[in-house]
Copies of this chain bind each other. A is one copy, B any other.
Amino acid sequence: MLSDIEISRQSPRLHIDELTRRLAIPSHLLNPHGHYKGKLSLALLKEPPKKHGKLVLVSAITPTPLGEGKTVTTLGLSMGLNHIGQASIATIRQPSLGPVFGVKGGAAGGGHAQVVPMEEMNLHLTGDFHALAAAHNLAAAALDARLFHEQRLGAGFTASTGLTRLDIDAANILWPRTLDMNDRALRHLTIGQGGPADGVERQDRFVITAASELMAILALASDLKDLRARIGRIQLALDLHGNPVTAEQLEVAGAMTVLLKDALQPTLMQTTEQTPVLVHTGPFANIAHGNSSVIADRMALALTDYVVTEAGFGSDMGLEKFFNIKHRQSGITPSCVVLVATVRGLKANSGLLDIRPGQPLPASLGEEDLPTLHQGCANLAWHIQNARRYGVPVVVAINRFPSDSQAELTLLADEAMRAGACGTAISSAFTQGGAGASELARAVVEACERPSAIKLLYPDAMGLGAKLATLVECGYGGRGVILSDKAKRQLAALSKAGWDHLPVCVAKTPLSLSHDPALKGVPTDFEVPIEEVRLCAGAGFVYALAGPIMTMPGLGSLPAYRHIDINDDGEIVGLS
């Protein structure tokens, strides 16, 4: 089989003008970026809707290091819907440059279910991540500059500038700096060390751009005005009296919004079979809500019959956050959930195999092993029941690998139906494109006709502590939370400050339903320790840290960038 970049290059593709024309989007609402991608103006949301599409939410079993092919299945399903004569658009997140150069060299799907041109998708795309980093770092620079000038001018600050002092507490700065890069040396640093003219010395940290609160804000904003208001609410620091210092108070919220004006527009691209794809934003599914943007979903739903969107990690992560955070803010409801499962991934979730990075894979993964698969299917059953809890029909997509036996595929499908799926289908989109996902597409169309009545885990009015306990009990299947003293104090302070109405976003490992990556399958007898809670006033949620969460990855000892280059024809090689 050809490499991803070879398949991408050989795929017939529509000029962006033609792609836009087929969607009946007026040409003045497209801002082209090159010949094969373009940004869609927000004015499109003010046009009368051409369609009232149905949303299909793609989630998965508990992820494993093997990769379950969720993006491949999301794109494949959208192509499969086209294949059976249904109009469809996929909405997905933009990949981060960090992992592209660090670990894998590409994140635009794969095989015959890719976004093309894959190198444009995987590199700068239309610059949104860079714009977001600039807006983020402008706030950081503004904060440190204000700290510096207030300290430098002392009592004369107000007389000299006409501004009211903010009295920022250098020991309580909440806003890090950011780069879209895997750079562990920037996890912990001390800045402002040059002397009296070079800023105030203090500890600081960098997060990768996808981990910025601004990324969650961009993904949740309903329009430019809402974006501006959310940015104004961001709490950048505490002052010396413990009160929040917001971006509005620092007078930087307008300039940050100006930097994000174009980034608020989703980017239209296409798959290897010319199915339209909206690529937009990239919030993590741990410290943020892990889904593509509200604006992209809303635009797509007004343009087509089916919108297939992907939520990060397993159904305990991105899917939970889709309902309890994104749906709560946007009102957009899925008609059906697709859970991606693989034979290999369920075997790995059985807890019976010893899979470690850098070690050879256990032989059982590549051979028929029904007992191990059967044990792993408990994880699948849990995710099916979890998704059904939200009141929506569930289809299981079995992403087929060459080593899967027919008996294994049958077992998986039987277990899925037994656990409450309304349908199952094998997807071979990686090797066959949309034709390989047509069975899945039919199952999804059928599921979308079924009645659904959406139910959230908790009401707005529940207190933050009770929301956390409910999430752990009903959303993860655990016994409850253990709040650290710090977390208790923080929850009390948030409640007092009037933030009780917000939803909660738990940052935990995706590799287990619990907080502990070692607990495989369906753990039940666990309590989730919450070390710390933090307010994202702009994004509109409170996030809770359940264990160490990496917000700045590092490069490995054999990083992917070593093989990325241009060849003698000036073409990019090594992305795959």
Contacts and interface: CB of A to CB of B under 8 A. Distances in A.
Interface of A: 28, 31-35, 39, 42, 97, 101, 119, 123-124, 126-127, 130-131, 133-134, 137-138, 140-142, 144-145, 148-149, 153, 157, 160-163, 177, 179-195, 197-200, 202-204, 224-225, 228, 251-255, 257-259, 261-262, 554-559, 561-566, 568, 570, 572, 574-575
Contacts of A140: 183
29 contacts: A42-B570, A97-B138, A101-B138, A101-B255, A123-B258, A124-B127, A124-B130, A124-B131, A127-B127, A130-B134, A144-B183, A145-B556, A148-B185, A149-B556, A185-B191, A185-B199, A188-B192, A189-B204, A190-B193, A251-B561, A254-B561, A254-B566, A254-B574, A255-B562, A255-B565, A257-B565, A257-B566, A258-B565, A261-B570
Nearest to A195: B188
Nearest to A157: B557
A181 B561 contact: no
A255 B32 contact: no
Contacts of A193: 188-190, 203
A187 B201 CA distance: 11
Nearest to A572: B258
Given A34-B31, A127-B124, A554 B199 contact: yes
Most buried by B among A31, A138, A161, A185: A185
Given A254-B564, A255-B101, A179 B137 contact: yes
A35 B39 CA distance: 11
A153 B557 contact: yes
Given A124-B131, A251-B561, A564-B254, A144 B185 contact: yes
Contacts of A148: 184-185, 554
Number of identical protomers? 2
Most B Cβ at <10 Å: residue of A157, A253, A262: A262
A184 B199 contact: yes
A381 to B, nearest CB: 36
Contact of A161 (B126, B557, B568, B574): B557
A27 to B, nearest CB: 9
Nearest to A17: B32
A561 B185 contact: no
Q: Which of A149, A203, A262, A557 has the most CB of B within 10 A?
A: A557
A557 B131 contact: no
A18 to B, nearest CB: 14
Nearest to A569: B224
Contacts of A31: 33-35
Most buried by B among A42, A180, A258: A258
A372 to B, nearest CB: 31
A149 B160 CA distance: 50
Contact of A198 (B184, B225, B254): B184
Max count, chain B CB within 10 A of own CB: residue among A149, A160, A570: A570
Contacts of A194: 184, 187-188
Contacts of A33: 31-34
A200 B253 CA distance: 35
B255 A564 contact: yes
Given A199-B187, A254-B574, A570-B224, A557 B192 contact: no
Nearest to A180: B134
Contact of A141 (B142, B177, B190, B555): B555
Contacts of A191: 185-186, 189
B557 A141 contact: no
A185 to B, nearest CB: 3
Given A34-B32, A142-B555, A197 B181 contact: no
Contacts of A197: 184
Given A124-B127, A138-B561, A193-B189, A555 B251 contact: no
Contact of A561 (B189, B225, B252): B252
A471 to B, nearest CB: 29
Given A35-B31, A566-B258, A137 B188 contact: no
Nearest to A561: B255
Contacts of A261: 566, 570, 572
Contacts of A563: 254
A31 B565 CA distance: 22
Closest 3 CB pairs of A and B: A254-B565, A185-B199, A130-B130
Contacts of A157: 557
A259 B100 CA distance: 11
Nearest to A202: B185
Contacts of A130: 124, 127, 130-131, 133-134
